Structure 1
């Protein structure tokens, strides 16, 4: 009992901080999403959500956000996995390579955006090259090309972060596993499939949840490149929420925030269920 009390006392600051800064504000947002009025609010049920799904800008933001995640997450995680496996074969300079991949995530986002504008603005470097070869110039940041620029920026920023996570887990795999497999005639692909993949699978699921959460943080880049009303291709849910917050439309903001939270919790729960099912299946086998 004493150990339990001590454990609770040690965890109390973290628990109280979570309740005060996360849970209570979320409950307030949840109440705002099902109510209407200024001062004294009235319960309106799901009316705010129904109006939200009739809003064309909200539907555009949902479509762009989902498209953004479907493009960036598989490419980024797949590339990070491949590079981390290749790095395991390098004996010299491995630490330098891994640390170099972390530089993009610690760089200030404002400086990164300035570099992008240097290349992709109307009078930027790429248009100067096109003009030099008598080719038509292109408005990169205010057309559908802006979407792919944001995707490349996400890839460049986070691929090194996931490489670092995968490499750290790969280094924990005992080399004896691979030596034992090679003695029994297993090739590199067989060792990767039967040894590396099962051990790395929980980490892949963890980075999948992490990448989904990071994908919702793309607003800073999109805002600095296109402003509050960017090209339709990079109009994300954060733009919709920010614009409605400026208009003091708390109902739409709260409903949007609740949908995002439920979406992340649903995906996290689904990923955990897949992991639990596969873990139990492996244990039974």
Structure 2
């Protein structure tokens, strides 16, 4: 009986320790949660109200009129189209190139440390100096125009034509590929070498080893870099602004240009509707993908 009482006391005290650990975890996370609520969630709720209302001072509910006006705006549609095209080009090319380079780096014998450091240099350089280098290459009086003049061609103002889109894509790939290489390389170093040795013993080639060992191990990291690359893609406004200003060539007029120009014009309901639309466009596929993932996972577990 005494033994049971002692055991009960132990269980009780053990449960108390677990509760204290949970409370301590909440207290540690509270500053971050409070910052998120104050600086992100509450302003987003205000933005949602602005997107369905109109007026200065006393605002009136207008329903979806702001969204209707937004999707009839040609500049917004142009910005959406350019941003989607920009993401569709830069994200796959950058991630595929980074994965290929990380695998090559994994098999390299010498110079690994040098390449690891050199991959970070593009991110360290100030963006203003990088844009100056771009203008030195593709500007109206840049090197490419000088070469065209030497071979009898006609110089172009590359940064004020549709070629500016590809210049912006090259700039993104150059800046971020090395960063993703380091992320993939760090994950590849965590894969036990015994897996590849066993696969080789049973006759697996390099492609089979990649498909059945490397790729499954890289899938979580690959998902993380997709999110990271999309976020970095939305930050490209600095480069586009320095290349073309507030109203650049139509090929690089992005959502950030639209938001910034309407903010300067104090058109809050339009930028609020645009912000809510962008968040919805990002959240809906993410939620649907997560639900499908849970369904497939549950099917594998019980099937």
> What's 1:86 paired with?
104
- Tell whether 2:260 aligns with 1:221: no
> What's 2:47 paired with?
29
Q: Distance in 2 between matches of 1:38 and 1:242?
A: 20
From 93, 114, 117, the equivalent of 1:96 is 114
Q: Distance in 2 between matches of 1:279 and 1:28?
A: 37
Note the C-alpha offset of 1:269: 3.1
State the Cα deviation string for residues 71-114 of structure 1 (Å, max 9, x = none).
11111111111111111101222122122111111211111011
- Tell whether 2:42 aligns with 1:53: no
Contact 1:34 1:48 in 2 (8 A): yes
From 118, 125, 136, the equivalent of 2:143 is 125
Q: Give the unaligned 5+ runs of structure 1.
A: none
Contact 1:141 1:226 in 2 (8 A): yes
Is the partner of 2:107 in helix, strand or coil? coil
> What's 1:243 paired with?
261
> What's 1:64 paired with?
82
Q: TM-score, normalised by structure 2?
A: 0.90
Note the C-alpha offset of 1:14: 0.8
Q: Distance in 1 between matches of 2:300 and 2:116?
A: 32
Q: Distance in 2 between matches of 1:87 and 1:281?
A: 38
> What's 2:173 paired with?
155
> What's 1:10 paired with?
28
> What's 2:11 paired with?
none
- Tell whether 2:144 aligns with 1:114: no
CA RMSD in angstroms, aligned pairs only: 1.6
Deviates more, 1:46-55 or 1:204-213: 204-213
State the Cα deviation string for residues 112-149 of structure 1 (Å, max 9, x = none).
01111111111112111111222100110000000000
Q: Give the unaligned 5+ runs of structure 2.
A: 1-18
> What's 1:257 paired with?
275
State the Cα deviation string for residues 25-53 of structure 1 (Å, max 9, x = none).
11111111111100011111111001000
Going from structure 1 to structure 2, the CA distance change for 1:271 and 1:196 (only over 3 Å counts) comes to farther
Q: Distance in 2 between matches of 1:199 and 1:20?
A: 37
Going from structure 1 to structure 2, the CA distance change for 1:274 and 1:111 (only over 3 Å counts) comes to farther
